[in-house]
Amino acid sequence: SMLAAMTFGNCGYSLPAAMGAKVAAPERNCVAYVGDGAWGMQLNEIMTCIRENIPTTAVVFNNGQWGAEKKNQVIWFGDRYIGAQLHNPWSYADIARSMHAEGITCTHVDQVEDALRQATKNQEEGKTTVLEMMVTKELGDPFRRDAMKLPVRHLTKYLPTMQVNESDSGQPTDL
């Protein structure tokens, strides 16, 4: 089974959904996949996992940005970033350990398989794990390109910011 927010675009969904799935079927491993932007809205649930003994795994993709929002700003707003950059000097794996969960950080793709195996083993032993994946700032396509169109500026003072075409590259200029 897979539980994901996908086209709804909501934040804070993945770990609570995985927790509910784990409570409903405790014999199954449950993994939440989340970006670091949305993780800020749900990392506190790690404490709930520990307190209520709901062993789950959260894979946090840390790219230092609100990826979905930034992609919209790249495509439709001419690379003018507002609130999309996350300057997080901390480690989510360290935060998980401070909450008495397991924390693993992957800085290279060669570490992912072992980390996932360890997280699976941890869950089978009744432990919650945060697996922090350090990833590039490259952005994928939005789930709902049809949900937004280029903004139309009506006030004269904003006319210089009007875009007539979407971004050619589709990638941020601050890579």
Q: pLDDT digit string (tens) for 110-134?
A: 999 999 999 999 999 999 999 999 9
d(CA 111, CA 165): 40
Let me know: does 19 contact 101? Beta carbons within 8 Å.
no
pTM metric for this prediction: 0.84
Q: Give 2's pLDDT tier (boundaries 50, 70, 90).
A: low
Q: Give 1's pLDDT tier (boundaries 50, 70, 90).
A: low
Q: Give 148's pLDDT tier (boundaries 50, 70, 90).
A: low
Task: Pick 105 or 79 by higher pLDDT.
Answer: 105
Tell me the Cα Rg of the chain: 18
Burial degree of 45 (CB within 10 A; 0-12, 13-18, 19+): buried
